Amino acid sequence: MDRHKVIIVGGGPAGAMTALALTHFRPELAAEILLLEARSFPREKICGGGVSGRVVAFLEEVGVTLQKLAKVPVERFTICFDRDAFDAPFHNDKCFVVRRSTFDDFLLHSVRERGVEVRAPLAAVGAFREPNGIAVLDAIGTVHRSRILVGADGVNGRTRLWFGKPHRSRKTLLLQTDFPRDPEMPSGDSLIFDFTPLRFGRSGYAWFFPSMDAEGAPVINAGISGGPFVAGSLKQSREIFKTILDAHPAIKETAPERFHLRPYPEQDFSPFSNQAGNHVLLVGEQLGVDAFTGEGLAVCADSAAAAAQEILIALETGDYGFKGYSKRLISSDFFPLYLIGRPFWLESPGRRPNLLFSMATRKSHPGKENIMEIYGKLFSGALPAGKVFSPYFIKPVLRDLPPALLKRLFP
Ligand SMILES: Cc1cc2nc3c(=O)[nH]c(=O)nc-3n(C[C@H](O)[C@H](O)[C@H](O)COP(=O)(O)OP(=O)(O)OC[C@H]3O[C@@H](n4cnc5c(N)ncnc54)[C@H](O)[C@@H]3O)c2cc1C
């Protein structure tokens, strides 16, 4: 049996970022944190690997420099639907694509360098509340006691369930693959999101990101999101993906005849899900991802920052209720993008994009910005997230609405 102030279950980006934020603000806490990770790193994680400027800004803020990390820089989004495509530049050089095994290993290594005890591979197999904290049982039968438990164990993590907090939002099926990339291809600096799956009754998108394999060779990281968890969904997603790939000849050129699409579950962030309780905080994919772009790493960064602030206050005051956590989460930078993405997101079964989405691929008015250009700037951090609540954002939304609808709304 051993004692700590904080136990973090899961050493992916959310767990590592929480440890990095805590030790940045209170370096002496390093000796009082235990991180349990079930797998040995580097480990593969199915992911697009798109890292936004907001995540980079968080890492810089907690003292992590990314110069030595192998990455592919990206400069823009390309939002496609059928034959329409719209480019939204990021307006800074902060966004990139990374191989998740490399990125996650880099972050966990940084945590170890700060003096945090990381035990891996060692899974937590159960946990319960005690009068003054939490007891966690690991896979070799050791009981670890602490004041606080941070659940950073990912989309299938069990910490949530150990404390009676069922998942609120639906899980969806994502498929991912890698195939060779021509480094000279014209869209090699873009995160391509193709929303054509809607035409097939699928609330999701196909993505094509310039990435690299474990040896550093150029690849396209591609996949499709939005499949329901029902029999036959995997086969259907695969077929839709292949059809969409045909519409991107430059990418298809390098794709092999047969490729393996790997399945993985995902769930959307919901502000109404349980995020904390006495002595317990949940971070990262336990909370979900942005519904529009599927970005989860910004949720990791922002929830890690919010959790670290709550933990520091709790250790100071002795109040471990974490009542302020939800409010802190919705004041984070990812939340305004979530607010934009939600209505844009196409849950209509009508096989056509909803009204707001159709504005996404509409060209800008001369000298004015399209809504996606603003979104791109927010994603990269070139524009502060708070701008969403200002006329700067609201005006172009109103301007892009069709005049007939505007007249009806504002006679
Ligand atoms: C196909 C796909 C594409 C995606 N693309 C992007 C993208 O391009 N950009 C982006 O920002 N996000 C993307 N996401 C989302 C992103 O991958 C996740 O949001 C992110 O990985 C969440 O990090 P995490 O640390 O919460 O969870 P994870 O990365 O899953 O880490 C959780 C860790 O906890 C460990 N663990 C689990 N249970 C236990 C236990 N009992 N004891 C100890 N350890 C345990 C696991 O081994 C794992 O290492 C994508 C997701 C998918 C599925």
Q: CA 366, CA 368: separation in Å to the nearest integer?
A: 5
Are the C-beta atoms of 245 and 252 separated by less than 8 Å? yes
Q: Cite the DSSP H helix spans in 7-63.
A: 13-25, 53-61
CA 364 to centroid of ligand 1, rounded, Å: 36
Q: What are the E-state strand segments in 43-167?
A: 50-51, 72-73, 76-81, 84-89, 96-97, 117-119, 124-130, 133-138, 143-151
Give pTM, 2 decimals. 0.94
Rounded (5°) CA angle 333-52-311: 45
> Which residue among 219, 297, 333 has the greatest number of ligand 1 atoms within 8 angstroms of its CB, and so is best to mutate?
297
Question: How many C-beta atoms surround the C-beta of residue 184 within 10 A?
Answer: 8
The response to whether residue 174 sits with its C-beta less than 6 Å from ligand 1 reads yes
The response to whether residue 290 sits with its C-beta less than 6 Å from ligand 1 reads no
> Which residue among 9, 47, 117, 269 has the greatest number of ligand 1 atoms within 8 angstroms of its CB, and so is best to mutate?
47
Q: CA 115, CA 32: separation in Å to the nearest integer?
A: 10
Are the C-beta atoms of 238 and 127 separated by less than 8 Å? no
Taking CA atoms only, the protein residue closest to ligand 1 atom 18 is 296
The response to whether residue 50 sits with its C-beta less than 6 Å from ligand 1 reads yes
**2-70+99-168+269-337 and 171-266 in the same fold:** no
Give the residue carrying structure tokens 């590592």.
16
CA 264 to centroid of ligand 1, rounded, Å: 10
Spell out the per-residue pLDDT of the chain, length 411, in tens. 568 999 999 999 999 999 999 999 999 999 999 999 999 999 999 999 999 999 999 999 999 999 999 999 999 999 998 888 889 999 999 999 999 999 999 999 999 999 999 999 999 999 999 998 999 999 999 999 999 999 999 999 999 999 988 776 778 899 999 999 998 888 889 999 998 988 888 888 999 999 999 899 999 999 999 888 888 889 999 999 999 999 999 999 999 988 899 999 999 898 888 899 999 999 999 999 998 889 999 999 999 999 999 999 999 999 999 999 999 999 999 998 888 877 766 555 556 666 566 666 666 667 778 888 888 999 999 999 888 888 877 777 776 666 666 666 555
The response to whether residue 19 sits with its C-beta less than 6 Å from ligand 1 reads no
The response to whether residue 39 sits with its C-beta less than 6 Å from ligand 1 reads yes
CA distances from 182 to 11, 187, 221, 332, 370 (A): 34, 10, 13, 38, 30
Domain locations along the chain? 2-70+99-168+269-337, 171-266, 353-409
Q: Which CATH superfamily is domain 2-70+99-168+269-337 in?
A: FAD/NAD(P)-binding domain (3.50.50.60)
CA 155 to centroid of ligand 1, rounded, Å: 7
The architecture (CATH level 2) of 171-266 comes to: 2-Layer Sandwich (3.30)
256 exposed, middle or buried (CB, 10 Å; 0-12, 13-18, 19+)?
exposed
